[in-house]
Structure 1
Amino acid sequence: MKYNFLVNIIRKVAYGILKCIFLIRVEGRENIPNAPYIICANHRSYLDPVLIILIFDERVYFMAKSELFKIWWLSPIIRAFGAFPVKRGKSDIGAIRKAIEVVRSNNILGIFPEGKRNRTNEIVLRGEKGVATVIKATGAKVLPVAICGKVRLFGKITVRIGKPLEFTNTDEDNQKIVDTIMQNIKELILKTNNKKKEK
């Protein structure tokens, strides 16, 4: 689903502003499949969902922590861009059902499997199993996305889009599915680090 005219204008203006603040590079656009599919990305800053919304031309429906929807001025903005609430720290059946509905309606779902921002020195955190439930229920492809670089003035940020993953075995362990996704994201991040060493 495409964004409406007004939201699309806001996206383009916002992306132009961000490109003046950060050196943004996007790699792997050719790997983007036709909807429906699920974007799974690593999560290190508040800028991560914004980058994905601005980079992908079609609307991405994101799970966002429920606390954000209690902020009166922010709630209508993030809803306009396709966000829906999820309660962190426990199994939110309603959010899972909404995610399944999004994919079954031929849309794009965005998830950060880590469940929170990674503030550690680890490359990625262990992913949570909720995304595997959505994958099994919909049979959707998973698009691994790595967001690399530090969010600082004129800092270099690389968004690397990997090749789509398919999980056809519905008997496969949910944690194993998520671990495979996170491993793919980790390899995309390490690819950036290896390029830096070669220079």
Structure 2
Amino acid sequence: MKYNFFMNVIRKLAYLILKCVFLIKVEGKENIPKAPYIICANHRSYLDPVLIILIFDERVYFMAKSELFRIWWLSPIIRAFGAFPVRRGKSDISAIKKAIEVIRSNNILGIFPEGKRNRTNEIVLKGEKGVATIIKATGAKVLPVAICGKIRPLCGITVRIGKPLEFKNKDEDNQKIVDTIMQSIKDLILNTNKIKKEKRN
């Protein structure tokens, strides 16, 4: 689903500002398939969902932690951009049903499989199994996305989009599916880091 004219103007202005401030670079846009599909990305900053919303031309419906929807001024904004609540640390059946509905309506779903921001020194955290349930219920492709670099002004952020993954075996273990997705994201990050080291040498 496309954004309306007003929201598109907001997105383009916001992206222009953030691109200048954070020196954003996007790689792999040619890998973006036709909807429906699921974007799975790593999560280190509150800016992560904003970056994805601004980079992808079609509306991305994000699972967002339910606490954000209790903030009176923020809730209408994130809802307008397609976010819907999920209770972290619990099996939120209503959020899973909403996610499946998004895919079956030929839209794009955005998920951070780690379930929370990664504040550790690990490249990625272990992913949660909820995304595998959605994949099995819909048969949707998964588009791995790696957000690399420090979220600081003028430090440079690279958003690298990988090739779509497909999981056709419905008997495959859910954790194995999620581990495959997280490994794909990790590989994208490590590849980016490798390129940076080669440039410095």
Match of 1:193 in 2: 193
- Distance (whole Å) between structure 2 residues aligned to residue 162 and residue 152 of structure 1: 24
Match of 2:139 in 1: 139
> 1:85 Cα deviation (Å)?
0.3
- Distance (whole Å) between structure 2 residues aligned to residue 101 and residue 57 of structure 1: 20
RMSD: 0.5
TM-score (norm 1): 0.99
- 1:100 and 2:100 correspond: yes
Amino acid at match of 2:29: R
> 1:99 Cα deviation (Å)?
0.2
User: What's the CA shift string for 1:93-146, capped at 9, x where partnerless?
Assistant: 000000000000000000000000000000000000000000000000000000
3-state SS of paired residue (1:30):
helix
> Which stretches in structure 2 are left out of the alignment for 5+ residues?
none
- The within-5 A match list for 1:28-107 is 28-107=28-107
- Distance (whole Å) between structure 2 residues aligned to residue 160 and residue 20 of structure 1: 18
- Distance (whole Å) between structure 1 residues aligned to residue 46 and residue 32 of structure 2: 23
Amino acid at match of 1:78: I
Amino acid at match of 1:182: M
Match of 2:27 in 1: 27
Amino acid at match of 2:98: K
- Distance (whole Å) between structure 1 residues aligned to residue 76 and residue 94 of structure 2: 20
- Distance (whole Å) between structure 2 residues aligned to residue 194 and residue 56 of structure 1: 25
Q: Which runs of 4+ in 1 moved over 6 A?
A: none
> 1:55 Cα deviation (Å)?
0.1
Match of 2:8 in 1: 8
Amino acid at match of 1:175: Q
User: What's the CA shift string for 1:56-106, capped at 9, x where partnerless?
Assistant: 000000000001001111000000000000000111000000000000000
TM-score (norm 2): 0.98
3-state SS of paired residue (2:85):
strand
3-state SS of paired residue (2:150):
coil
Amino acid at match of 1:5: F
- 1:120 and 2:120 correspond: yes
Amino acid at match of 2:117: R
- Distance (whole Å) between structure 2 residues aligned to residue 197 and residue 22 of structure 1: 20
Aligned length in residues: 199
3-state SS of paired residue (2:142):
strand
3-state SS of paired residue (1:155):
coil
3-state SS of paired residue (2:89):
coil
> 1:26 Cα deviation (Å)?
0.2
Amino acid at match of 1:68: L
> 1:4 Cα deviation (Å)?
1.0
Amino acid at match of 1:12: K
Amino acid at match of 2:90: K
Amino acid at match of 1:61: Y
- Distance (whole Å) between structure 2 residues aligned to residue 196 and residue 154 of structure 1: 16
- Distance (whole Å) between structure 2 residues aligned to residue 141 and residue 112 of structure 1: 15
> 1:5 Cα deviation (Å)?
1.1
User: What's the CA shift string for 1:1-51, capped at 9, x where partnerless?
Assistant: 001111111101100110121110000000000000000000000000000
